[in-house]
C-alpha cells in the first residue's frame, strides 16, 4: 500500500515505520504463498462438507425450548464431523467456551478411579482448575479422577521413556494440547501429534487420545483427527467460528466418546436430541465457511509480527521461517514498558474500544499483573486482533488473531509505532 497523509494523519504512522513494514512484508512473500495454499485447500474441505450434507436455508431456522428436531443443529454437527474427518460432532451454543467444551469432554468420558495423562507438560491455565492440578471447587479430582504429567524434553521433543512409565492400568485418557497456550514452547504440528498418538496406542489402544485443538484449526491442511485422535475440542470464538460465531464450542471424534460428552452436557437419556439454537445457526455455518480465510489472515499477521521483531533484534517464537502449528505469536519484549506500549498500540488498532487504554491489572488466578489488548465485536474473541501478556520477566507477549490479514498488519504497525513514539526503540 502507498503511504499517504490519510494514514499518517489518522493513525499517526510515520514514514519510517511504514517503510520498514513494507520491507518486512516483501521478505515474507513466499510464506504468504504457502499460507494461501493451505487456506485454499481448507476452503475446499469446508465447502465439500456443506455440499455433501445438502445445506439449505431451511437449516437456518431458529428453535426454542427443548430444541427437539433442530435440523440445522444436526446438519451443523455433521458438517463439523465431515470437515474433521470424524464420526460425530457436538457443536453447541450451550458449550459456552473452549474450557467448558474441554470440561464436558473430560467429565463425560471419565469415571471415578480413571487417570488423565498429559504427555506435553502443564495444560492451559483454566484446565488446571478443571482437572484439579490447581485446587478448585468441583474439579475432576473431587470425583476421584487422578492426573499425571510428563513434561516435554528441553528440546521440545516427547519424553517417550517417561510417558511409557506414566501409563498404567488406570490411564483412561491422554490430553494433548496443540497450541503453546501461554507457555514459551513450540506448538505441536499435527504430524508430531500423530507420532505421539501412535506411541500411546502401541502401549494401550483403548486409551482415549483427546486433543485440545484451540488456536490450531485450519492452520494446516490436516487436523489431529486425521492422525488418530479420538476426540478434538475447541472454541467457536477462536478459529472455527471465523469471527462470526457469537458463542460456542465443539467436540468431534469417535461417536461413542462424543455421545458420552453429549449426555454430560444435557442429560443422561437426552444427549444430542435436545438443545435449542435460538437463531444463531446461520452465524455458525457462515463463520465456519469463512474460517479458512480468517485463519489464513491471522497466520499471515503472526508471521509478519515475527519477522518485524526479529529484524529489531527481539527473541520471537516461532521464527518467521518456521512452519506454523497455531495462530499464536510470542515475542520476548525485554521490558515492561515495551509490553505495555505494544499492547496499547494493538488496542489503538481495534475497531471496537480503540479509545480505551489497557493497563496491567491483578487478574484473579495469575501471580503477576496481566495486560490484555482486545477490541473485539465478540467479547473475549481471540480470533479477532488481540494481545495478552503477564507483566513479568522475560516480558513475553502473546499475539493472535485479526479478522483479515490487512487488519492484522494495521494493528501490528500501530503497536510498533506506539513503541517508537514512546522512544522505546528506533527503526
Which range of residues in 93-101, 137-145, 155-163, 279-287 is near ligand PLP by CB under 6 A? 93-101
- Least distance in Å: CB of 93 to ligand PLP? 13
Nearer to ligand PLP, 89 or 123 (CB): 123
Does residue number 109 form part of the binding site for ligand PLP (CB under 6 A)? no
What is the Cα–Cα distance from 230 to 210, expressed in whole angstroms?
A: 6
Binding to ligand PLP (CB under 6 A): which residues in 193-222?
212, 214-215
Order of all β-strands in the sheet with 88-92: 88-92, 249-253, 231-235, 208-212, 171-177, 115-118, 146-149
- Least distance in Å: CB of 225 to ligand PLP? 17
Does residue number 18 form part of the binding site for ligand PLP (CB under 6 A)? no
Question: Angle at the Cα of 234 (from 233 to 235), degrees rounded to 5?
Answer: 150
Does residue number 99 form part of the binding site for ligand PLP (CB under 6 A)? yes
Does residue number 177 form part of the binding site for ligand PLP (CB under 6 A)? yes
- Least distance in Å: CB of 331 to ligand PLP? 17
Nearer to ligand PLP, 20 or 215 (CB): 215
What is the Cα–Cα distance from 377 to 317, expressed in whole angstroms?
A: 28
The residue written with cell numbers 518486512 in the block is 24
Choose which of 119, 181, 248, 318 interacts with ligand PLP (CB under 6 A).
Answer: 181
In contact, 257 and 247? CB cutoff 8 Å: no
Nearer to ligand PLP, 215 or 309 (CB): 215
Phi, psi of 146, deg, nearest 5: -100, 170
Choose which of 63, 225, 235, 306 interacts with ligand PLP (CB under 6 A).
Answer: 235
Running DSSP on this structure, what letter comes out for residue 185?
Answer: S
Q: Which residues, in sequence order, are CB contacts of 203 under 8 Å at separation 6+? A: 164, 167
Does residue number 179 form part of the binding site for ligand PLP (CB under 6 A)? yes
- Least distance in Å: CB of 235 to ligand PLP? 4
Q: Closest by alpha carbon to 217, among 106, 283, 294?
A: 294
Choose which of 20, 124, 158, 218 interacts with ligand PLP (CB under 6 A).
Answer: 124
Phi, psi of 199, deg, nearest 5: -60, -45
Binding site for ligand PLP (CB under 6 A): 97-99, 124, 126, 177, 179, 181, 212, 214-215, 235
Amino acid at each position: 500500500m502507498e503511504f499517504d497523509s490519510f494514514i499518517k494523519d489518522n493513525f499517526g504512522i510515520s514514514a519510517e515505520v511504514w517503510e520498514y513494514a513494507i520491507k518486512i512484508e516483501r521478505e515474507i512473500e513466499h510464506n504468504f504463498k504457502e499460507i494461501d495454499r493451505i487456506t485454499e485447500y481448507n476452503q475446499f474441505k469446508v465447502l465439500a462438507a456443506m455440499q455433501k450434507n445438502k445445506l439449505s436455508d431451511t437449516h437456518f431456522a431458529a428453535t426454542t425450548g427443548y430444541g427437539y428436531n433442530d435440523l440445522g443443529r444436526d446438519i451443523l454437527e455433521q458438517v463439523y464431523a465431515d470437515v474433521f474427518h470424524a464420526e460425530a460432532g457436538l457443536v453447541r451454543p450451550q458449550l459456552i467456551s473452549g474450557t467448558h467444551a474441554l470440561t464436558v469432554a473430560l467429565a463425560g468420558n471419565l469415571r471415578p478411579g480413571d487417570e488423565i495423562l498429559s504427555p506435553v507438560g502443564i495444560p492451559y491455565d483454566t484446565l488446571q482448575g478443571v482437572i484439579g492440578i490447581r485446587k478448585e471447587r468441583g474439579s475432576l479430582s473431587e470425583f476421584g479422577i487422578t492426573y499425571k504429567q510428563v513434561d516435554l524434553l528441553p528440546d521440545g521433543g516427547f519424553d517417550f521413556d517417561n510417558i511409557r512409565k506414566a501409563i498404567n492400568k488406570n490411564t483412561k485418557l491422554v490430553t494433548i494440547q496443540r497450541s503453546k497456550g501461554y507457555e514459551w514452547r513450540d506448538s505441536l504440528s499435527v504430524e508430531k501429534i500423530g507420532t505421539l498418538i501412535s506411541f500411546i496406542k502401541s502401549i494401550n489402544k483403548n486409551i482415549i487420545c483427546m486433543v485440545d485443538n484451540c488456536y490450531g484449526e485450519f492452520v494446516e491442511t490436516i487436523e489431529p483427527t486425521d492422525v488418530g485422535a479420538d476426540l478434538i475440542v475447541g472454541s467457536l470464538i477462536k478459529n472455527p467460528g471465523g469471527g462470526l460465531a457469537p458463542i460456542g464450542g465443539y467436540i468431534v471424534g469417535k461417536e461413542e466418546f462424543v455421545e458420552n460428552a453429549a449426555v454430560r452436557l444435557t442429560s443422561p437419556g437426552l444427549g444430542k436430541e435436545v438443545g435449542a439454537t435460538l437463531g444463531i445457526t446461520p452465524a455458525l455455518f457462515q463463520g465456519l465457511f469463512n474460517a479458512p480465510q480468517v485463519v489464513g489472515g491471522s497466520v499471515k499477521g503472526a508471521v509478519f509480527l515475527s519477522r518485524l521483531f526479529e529484524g529489531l533484534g527481539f527473541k520471537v517464537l516461532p521464527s518467521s521461517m518456521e512452519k506454523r502449528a497455531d495462530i499464536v505469536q510470542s515475542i520476548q519484549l525485554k521490558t515492561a514498558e515495551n509490553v505495555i506500549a505494544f499492547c496499547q498500540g494493538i488496542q489503538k488498532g481495534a475497531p471496537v474500544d480503540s479509545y480505551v487504554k489497557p493497563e496491567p491489572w491483578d487478574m484473579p488466578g495469575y501471580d503477576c499483573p496481566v495486560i490484555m489488548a482486545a477490541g473485539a465485536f465478540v467479547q473475549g474473541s481471540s480470533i479477532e486482533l488481540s494481545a495478552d501478556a503477564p507483566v513479568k520477566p522475560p516480558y513475553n507477549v502473546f499475539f493472535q488473531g485479526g479478522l483479515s490479514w490487512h487488519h492484522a498488519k494495521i494493528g501490528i504497525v500501530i503497536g510498533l509505532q506506539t513503541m517508537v513514539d514512546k522512544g522505546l526503540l528506533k527503526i
